[in-house]
Structures are given as structure tokens and as C-alpha cells.
Amino acid sequence: MTLLEFARGPALAFSVAVFVVGLLWRLAGIFRRPGRVDHSVPRHTDIAAGGARAIFAKMLPPRNVKTRVLAMANAYAYHIGLAVVVLAFAPHIAFVKRTTGLAWPALPDWVTYVATAVTMLGLALALVIRLTDGVLKLLSNFDDYFSWFVTLLPFVTGMSLLPPPAEPGPLAAHLLSLELLLVWLPFGKLSHAVLVFVSRYRTGADFRRKGAAV
């Protein structure tokens, strides 16, 4: 079995399995806990709508509360860049189609190249901010730095595929770097990709009940 065959076969299956089972385990760890029966009289009863609204409202910067402008603008930039590269780059869509049969239109390559540059620069800046800002230095632990590393790595290995090389090694490395990210995601802070919906919904719903501000 070549390295590429390994990356496309057992490594991919293993990483997807860890990703799915790990995330489900993490979510089960939350949802197995008791919910609270709230006997207070609600101010509003459209509680689910409040939860849903919070998911979207929290995508925008808070009103009337000072924010870390550079860090926030940078986070917008690399999250959007990441989404464009992962979901709208033609070779990625082709990979998903080969694996699952699902496909959707791609954005032009130049758009994804710009998105790649934005994401990589954004991640670099995010690290600089984390290493230099007193608050972030205090809060940061292994998870923050390793999550940063496994997010950047597929971009670095992906760059070696432009233009596509003749030998299979760089593609195998790219796939393995993605698989490392998938394996790590359920265990660390990258799981906020899923938890963000749970957390925002929970607060949005509870606070809507009271009429409190989110």
C-alpha cells in the first residue's frame, strides 16, 4: 500500500470515524446531563426563536460593547477564507464527489487562491496576537496552539499541490494533514464549529425567556 493509498483508504476512514464518534461523544457528554425545569413565568414564550436568533445575532460584533477590533476583524477574515477554501475550491468539491457522490458549483480558482492567502495570513496574525496579547497569553494552553497548527497545516501542504506535482507524496501529505485535523477536532477547541450552535442557542433561548440581552 502506497502512502497515498493509505491516506485515501484506512487513514481517511479512521479520521472520519474519530471525527464523527468523537463529536457525538462530546455532544452526548453535554446532552446526557439533566435539563432544568424552569418554573418562573416567562416574559416571552417564543423561546426556540430566541435561540435561533442568537445563533445569527452573535455572528455580528456586539453593539455598545468595546471589542478587540484587530482580533475580531482577523477572525472574520480567516473564518470566511477557510469556508471558501474548504467548500468552494474545485478540487475539494471533486474529492467530496468521489467520496460521497455529493457535488456543488465551485468558485473560480483565483477566488480560492485569494481566500487561501487571506486565511494563511490571518492565521499567522492570530498566532502573533495570541503570543503578544496579555489576556490571550494567560488564557492559552496546548489546545490553542495545537488547534492553530492543525488548522494551518492543510494549507501548507495544500500549497505544495500548486501546480499539481507529478509524484503522489505531496497529495498524501495534504490528505494526512486534513485527517490530523479531523482526528483532533472533537477533542479540542476546534469543536466550536459545532458547539457554537449549541451554546448560542442555549443562551438565546434561556435569555429570550427572561427578555434578557444576549
Interface residue list for other proteins (CB under 8 A)? 25-26, 28-31, 33-41, 43, 54, 58, 62-68, 71-72, 75, 133-144, 187, 189, 191-192, 195-196, 198-200, 202-204, 206-207, 210-214
- Provide the minimum distance between the beta carbon of 131 and other proteins in the complex, in angstroms, as a whole number: 13
Q: Of the two residues 86 and 129, which places its CB atom closer to other proteins in the complex?
A: 129
List, as own/partner pairs, every contact residues 115-119 make where C-beta atoms lie below 8 angstroms and the sequence separation is at least 24, other chains included.
115/80, 115/81, 115/82, 115/84, 115/85, 115/88, 116/81, 116/85, 116/155, 116/158, 116/159, 118/77, 118/78, 118/80, 118/81, 119/77, 119/78, 119/81, 119/82, 119/85, 119/155
CB-nearer residue toward other proteins: 6 or 199: 199
Nearer of residues 63 and 100 to other proteins, judged by Cβ: 63
Work out how close the CB of 128 gets to other proteins at its nearest, in angstroms, rounded to a whole number: 14
Cell 466550536 sits at which residue?
192
* CB nearer to other proteins: pick between 12 and 126: 126
